[in-house]
Structure 1
Amino acid sequence: MSSSSKITTHTLGFPRIGERRVLKWALESHWRGESSAQALHAIAKNVREHTFRAHSDADITHPPVGDFSFYDHMADTALLFGQVPARFGNTGKTLESLFTLGRGKNLEGQNIAPLAMKKWFNSNYHYLVPELDANQPIVLNAERYLDLVREALALNPDAKPVLVGPLTFLYLSSGIDATARLAKAEALAGAYQLLLNELKALGVTWVQIDEPILTLDLPADWLQAFEPTYHRIKVPGIKLLLTTYFGDLNGNVAMAANLPVDGLHIDATATDDLIAVADRLPDYKVLSVGILDGRSIWRADLIHLLNRLAPVHARLKERLWLAPSCSLLHLPLDASLETKLPEFLRSNLSYARQKLTELNLLAKGLGEGLDSIALELNQAASARAELDRQPGRNSSTVRAKTQTIATSEPNRRGAFAERAAAQQARFNLPLLPTTTIGSFPQTHEIRAARKAFKNRELSAEQYEASMKDEIRHVIEIQETIGLDVLVHGEAERNDMVEYFGEQLDGFAFTQEGWVQSYGSRCVKPPIIWGDVHRSRPMTVAWARYAQSLSQRPVKGMLTGPVTILFWSFVRDDLSREAVCY
């Protein structure tokens, strides 16, 4: 072990999909009936082993276990404590029960809807929303979870089990009102205590319990429930790390710092005054500082972060732990796989595996001084300087235009009543016009044509002709139905964000920048690295063609700039507001 291990390091979670999305392909093969559950489990085990190897290579003290899921961690938690809606019938305790919650099932000829999905706080990950029943008892079904822990402890006895906290689980669930959900806290805490005793018997020392709802503006009764819930959970011999992320604790710092736990994790990307939090902690507790941005793909400014950490380290010494701000689930896996990006960009990327290396460097720099990581600091500075020298990074023309926009009042030509009258005179629409949102299904034929074009098996002319056939088809469908305002169906668009990014300067597109959205669904956000501007028309030719096919109005379809911004990996040297302008 290197001397940097004197400062404890850990992660809150890690990408589950594996290298080149191997778990996605395995899941979908299994769902199609082409591969066995045994084959799926073998691939998943290999993914987890690679995760542990990456943590070991980076000398991370406590790798996570229990963060892995075949579909979703909230659904796993619902199964762990027996909270499955009655409509699913007897789901059993197998992996297929998880897939049932996520994908639904056919029960006696009736299609049973899956659990609803919702965004995980302000991330682009979507979790399955557990449905609770006031009369359904809490029952611990821990064997699948404990098997993962046994597997992890065999690889590293310092592995840290991860659990969604009981109050976060209840708060984010549905099915019954908030009062009824909170009423289940005592029974759920008892089940957590049973699970912690099981973990203690396996030799576990630290357990991470995620309570990110502490960064929200919670009702008073939910805040008051934390102390009795965590007193109920507490098991002698097991140390609890209470983790918060995606925001500042704000007025909840004192309460969180004094709960009956052994450590507190805070999101340093959202917390300005680290010393103020450290001063609230009792002397026996550790403070885990989420110093690396767990959602940023960019190499960190390690000197800046070390300067932030230095006074906290001086105050806490060995009671300071270092971690990313949140689970690395929200990042792609490995930037070293990006072989087609320009070097000035690739050398500035830090995906999940690179974050482990940065975490180790921070621990080493903090414990041994800057000289111990001088080479790495110089390499990072040189890489960033090369990025900043790129012509597209800082465009005086773009900056001047955005400054004008930012300081000007919005100006619409004419009042609303005038514009509405002009629109009606032109289009003669009924009182309640009918239309669709815009996108028609991306059929097998559309995807096949796009793949053939990408592989140079179709010429640009042939691909355009194929897409025009699809547009003509959807126009005919809408006219037959009798819609008033038509859409062209967006057949030519590979993705509602990437399609526009490909036609704008300042964007880059990765090979392996995939992140999990839900289940086996992965997305590959574009990278905004430079000053964004449009140097040529976009969508106009397609819109003109679509309109030429009908006497009825055909809408133009654009993804808005805020959506593009939030569904991209955004440069870190400007505010999001500046990038959005």
Structure 2
Amino acid sequence: MTIIASNLGFPRMGENRELKKLVEAYWAGKVTDTELAEGIKVIRADHWNLQKNQGISHIPSNDFSLYDHVLDHIHLFGAIPARYQAVVESEVTENTAFRGWKTYFAMGRGYQTSKAASEASSATADTAFGLAASVSQKIDVGSMEMKKWFDTNYHYIVPEFTATQTFSLTNSGYSQPKPVQEFLEAKANGIETRPVILGPISFLLLGKSADSAHPYTSRFDALVHLEALLPVYTSLLTQLAQAGAQWIQIDEPILCLDLEYQGSLDTIKAAYTKAFTTIRAAIPSVNILLATYFGEIRSNIQAIINLPINAIHIDAVRTSETELSNIVNQISTTTLSLSIGVIDGRNIWKSNLKNKLAIIKNVVEKLGSSRVLVAPSCSLLHSPHSLNKEVAKVRPEVLDWLAFSVEKLQEVSFLTKAANSNTLVEPITFADAELQVYYAQNQESQAKRAVSPLIHNPAVKSRIESVTPDMFKRINPFPARRVAQRTRLTTLPALFPTTTIGSFPQTREVRLARSNFNAGKLSAADYDKFIREQIVNCVKIQEECGLDVLVHGEFERNDMVEYFGENLEGYVFTANGWVQSYGSRCVKPPIIFGDVSRPKPMTLEYTTYAQSLTTKPMKGMLTGPVTILQWSFVRDDIPRSTTCNQIALAIRDEVVDLEKAGIACIQIDEPAIREGLPMRASDWDAYLKWSVDSFLLSSTGVRDDTQIHSHMCYSDFNDIFTAIQRMDTDVLTIENSKSDLKLLKAFEKYGYTNEIGPGLYDIHSPRIPTIEDMKYRVEQMLKDLAKELIWVNPDCGLKTRGWSETIAALKNMVQVSVQLRSTFSN
């Protein structure tokens, strides 16, 4: 037997975001259930064939998702929260072969019938938000909580479990369970796939208690549901075995966390033993690959090394040589095979194939070629589709350094063929001419990149070296700053001031104008005129809604990171480098290839123009250095902290320029600080030190009377509370609406004393929140926070929403503030 070329997962959206367009058309009622079903079959078939043509032997299925793979499993296992029962019942009455999709999307996006929407807003509601519903019905339910998928910028839907939770296998809108449906679909196309299932331990430990009477006190409390969950797994896996599956991939990414510190390793070991012993009994002849990724397994290997499985996948990109050697040594005493994730599934640089072949050679020498699979480090979900559309966009020298998903599969295929050729000795040469040319070109690219003058900027390096300790702190503590700011901001109410997080609807008209401008079809003067007209309208709407601190709407910005990257040196941009963030939402991360600097102001012109239109404070809107770093593809030849400080100095210059121009409120968003937290607690302190220092470097160059805001979302604040306090922002807005106020407990527990705006409603859902809903949320906040500190705002930016729902929601939100001021002024 020889080494096997393997893949763990492929991007879902399609080369030209076909899935995004298809699903959004479905939500808008422009595509039927049948058309959606047929459209996604085409996308899946294209992706399976593509992987086969690249030489991949183990091709994944069920890695595809209409919204989110964790939500897929929630629905698949029948773990549908009770509040969606009215949606479930409404589907029963509908004559459709795709029953289940309405409930599925309701859990991801929320659901509101026309009748419910019209009652929530004085405006006329003419839509059921993309899902058919009877006008006579009244259903109004929000979406489930969403969190970051480990330390990535992908968001997953959080499973919810009650004390009496039950599970049942559902068909999720198909004629049979989704993993079975897709396996058979691939088989009918002549492709044998390896179905991917989120493992039972990770599924449970990534969830939360939905029962206030039985809250989880530790991560391991969710394992109480394992007994009820396993029959569903065995039923599903049995069906896959009967369908002909030879291999099944069971993902357990939770194994890269500090399970040994959060509870007893014996507890987690017992859970894995029970789960996989049960699974093996159900499918005795099917090969099982247990996949981990995003970090090192370390001592958690003890929980899985003796399981009745056939192979283990490890992330060899994020695993040290010593740790990899330890794992190989332990596996060598078993019959297990090892899948080595040597190709980085989360960054876009070409691999140094010489180094990767050395890793594979060492493993093969220990295990033998018949026990080795070569693969990306994780699913390629986190990488763009391919470089096919980038030739005209990316400068040739930088393009030669890049590899997207398709190119990563080519690297996997090359490494497998090269390792199987038994020529892994210096100097590395191949009898196969194709292999030799591919390898030589790779080594030439590596050499050119290492010495390229595009990468290094002496002026940037000199400025980093000149940073002094006083550049990391404000002039005075918050109490003194608050007095100065309230004196300056005379229009700000004493209690419950209102604002938004920054962006306003990016309509089709806005996107088209930007596209035409970028394509040269719209002149710079005409585009500038268009943007200014949008700003005028946005300011007018905010004033009509009654907001206290306004924003200019960000109509000139394609993305909160990409926009700044386009205005900084050291970046390059792609034409089609999209990756999924959540649902149908895609982002196109810029690529940091060299030293970063700001050649000119980036936001000054439109911010000051917007301020000239109103007497109310206008917030300058910036993205913070850590978030710009996290949401970019980052160079891998210097420490991430160095690049982050380079970005921080660029943002610092922008903050100072805004202040000089008279902008009194400046928001520096940092939603990604928690996301960047290393997987292991022992690595946290070093990361939090440099990441918060970078934020401070960007924000502290202003006077006391300039109010610094920041925004954070989808974070377990208990993990980083000390770091949040050290950020010392004057106003911090946080995502709160999807997490049932639980995040506020950290602020109450640790005694947060600066001003704070917990989000009142979920902007990711099209439903219009009622005054009563939002007022109740503030009343709950008042149990943990002083009324003088609370701001009233949505939980995130509004760019993905429509104008009618945005205006209705903001008017309701402002009314909440008005009513509360009246209550507390008496």
Match of 1:371 in 2: 429
Specify the SS of the correspondent of 2:290: strand
Provide the residue aligned with 2:236 in structure 1. 195
* 1:323 to 1:411, Cα distance in 2 relative to 1, 3 A: closer
Distance 1:63 1:564 in 2: 33
Q: Secondary structure at the match of 2:415?
A: helix
Which residue pairs with 2:206 in the alignment? 172
Gap change, CA 1:38 and 1:183, over 3 Å in 2 = same
Deviation string, structure 1 residues 27-64 (Cα, Å, up to 9, x no partner)? 22222222333332222222222222222222222111
Give the aligned partner of residue 456 of structure 2.
Answer: 394
Structure 2: gaps of 5 or more residues: 93-98, 114-136, 646-826
**Identical counterparts, % of pairs:** 42
CA positional deviation for 1:180? 6.1
> Which of the numbers 52, 66, 72 marks the counterpart of 2:68?
72
Greater shift, 42-51 or 479-488, is seen at 479-488
Cα distance change on mapping 1:12 and 1:22 into 2, 3 Å? same
Kindly indicate whether the alpha-carbon contact (under 8 Å) linking 1:196 and 1:238 is maintained by their aligned counterparts in 2. Answer: no
1:525 paired residue number: 589
Q: Residue in 2 aligned with 1:123?
A: 152
CA contact (8 A) 2:269 2:302 kept: no
Residue 107 of structure 2 aligns to a residue whose secondary structure is helix
Q: 2:361 and 2:569 mapped to 1: Cα distance?
A: 40
Distance 2:168 2:487 in 1: 65
SS in 2 for 1:337: coil
**Secondary structure of residue in 2 paired with 1:300:** coil
- Measured after TM superposition, the shift of residue 245 of structure 1 is 0.7
Spell out, residue by residue over 1:460-489, the C-alpha distance to the aligned partner (whole angstroms, 9 max, x if none). Answer: 223222322333333344455555543323
| Residue number among 277, 285, 307 corresponding to 1:231 in the alignment | 277
Q: Report the CA distance between 1:559 and its aligned residue.
A: 0.7
Confirm whether residue 52 of structure 1 aligns to residue 48 of structure 2: yes
Structure 2 CA distance for aligned equivalents of residues 252 and 518 of structure 1: 29
2:555 matched to which residue of 1?
A: 491
- Cα distance in 2 for residues equivalent to 1:87 and 1:216: 32
Matched, 1:105 2:157: no
- 2:571: which partner in 1? 507
Counterpart residue number, 1:293:
344
Equivalent-residue separation in structure 1 for 2:513 and 2:306 (angstroms): 60
1:268 paired with 2:355, answer no
DSSP-derived class of the 1:313 partner: helix
| 1:88 maps to 2:84 | yes
**CA deviations over 1:73-99 (Å, ceiling 9, x no partner):** 112112222222232233565444433
The counterpart of 1:567, out of the listed 609, 618, 631, is 631
Is the partner of 1:168 in helix, strand or coil? helix
Which residue number in structure 1 is paired with residue 823 of structure 2?
none
- How has the CA–CA distance of structure 1 residues 268 and 94 changed in structure 2, closer, same or farther, with 3 Å as cutoff? same
Change (3 A) 1:200 1:424: closer
Q: Once the two structures are superposed, what CA deviation does each residue of 1:372-427 show, in whole Å capped at 9, x if it has no partner?
A: 2332222122223444554431111112212333x755354633366555545544
Pick from 163, 166, 183 the counterpart of residue 137 of structure 1.
166
Partner of residue 253 from structure 2, selected from 208, 212, 216: 212
Give the equivalent residue in structure 1 for 2:750.
none
Q: Does 1:283 align with 2:334?
A: yes
CA distance in 1: counterparts of 2:236 and 2:510, whole angstroms? 49
How much does 1:12 deviate?
0.8
Q: Is the 8 A contact 1:189 1:230 kept in 2?
A: no
Match of residue 308 from structure 1: 359
Inter-CA distance 396–134: structure 2 relative to 1 (3 Å threshold) = same
The equivalent of 1:463 in structure 2 is: 527
2:306 alignment partner in structure 1:
258
The residue type paired with residue 472 of structure 1 is: V
Q: For each residue in 1:494-544, what CA deviation from the matched residue of structure 2 results, as whole angstroms up to 9, or x when unmatched?
A: 221111111111111111101112222211111111211111122122222
Report the CA distance shift for 1:316/1:434 in structure 2 as closer, same or farther (over 3 A): same
Does the 8 Å CA contact 2:165/2:225 hold for their aligned counterparts?
A: no
Give the partner amino acid of 1:334: S
SS in 2 for 1:187: helix
In 2, Cα distance between equivalents of 1:414 and 1:78: 50
The equivalent of 1:415 in structure 2 is: 476
Change (3 A) 1:484 1:265: same
Counterpart code for 2:373: W
CA distance in 1, matches of 2:520, 2:366: 61
Shift of residue 155, structure 1, vs aligned partner: 4.2
Query: Displacement, 1:253?
Result: 1.5
For the structure 1 residues 395 and 484, does the alpha-carbon distance in structure 2 shift closer, same or farther, using more than 3 Å as the test?
Answer: same
**CA 1:88–1:261: 2 relative to 1, 3 Å:** same
Q: Unaligned stretches of 5+ in structure 1? A: none
Structure 1 counterpart of 2:627, which letter?
A: T
Q: Secondary structure at the match of 2:594?
A: strand
Instruction: Return closer, same or farther for 1:468/1:106 CA change in 2, 3 Å cut-off.
Output: closer
- Shifted more, 254-263 versus 63-72: the winner is 254-263
Match of 2:606 in 1: 542
Superposed CA RMSD in Å reads 2.4
Q: CA deviation at 1:445?
A: 4.4
**Is the Cα contact below 8 Å between 1:84 and 1:132 reproduced in 2?**
no
2:716 alignment partner in structure 1 = none
- Asked if 2 retains the 8 angstrom alpha-carbon contact of 1:365 and 1:371, the reply is no
Match of 1:327 in 2: 379
SS in 2 for 1:516: strand
Which one-letter code corresponds to 1:288 in the other structure? S
CA distance in 1, matches of 2:483, 2:582: 45
Contact 2:317 2:344 in 1 (8 A): yes
Q: 1:539 to 1:314 in 2, by over 3 A?
A: same
How high is the TM-score relative to the length of structure 2? 0.66
Deviation at 1:566, TM superposition (A): 0.8
Shift in CA distance, 396/314, structure 1 to aligned 2, threshold 3 Å: same
Letter of the 2:198 counterpart: V
Alpha-carbon distance in structure 1 between the residues aligned to 2:437 and 2:487: 69
Q: Distance in 2 between matches of 1:514 and 1:398?
A: 29
Structure 1 residue 343 and structure 2 residue 393: aligned? no
User: Which stretch shows the higher mean deviation, 552-561 or 105-114?
Assistant: 105-114
Higher mean displacement: 408-417 or 388-397: 408-417
Q: Equivalents in 2 of 1:76, 1:216: separation in Å?
A: 23
| Alignment partners' CA distance in 2, 1:323 and 1:507 | 29
For the residue of structure 2 that corresponds to 1:299, the secondary structure is: coil
Matching residue's letter, 1:495: D
The residue aligned with 2:197 is 163
Counterpart of 1:298 in structure 2: which amino acid? W
Asked if 2 retains the 8 angstrom alpha-carbon contact of 1:436 and 1:487, the reply is yes
Letter in 2 for 1:352: S
Q: Secondary structure at the match of 1:28?
A: helix
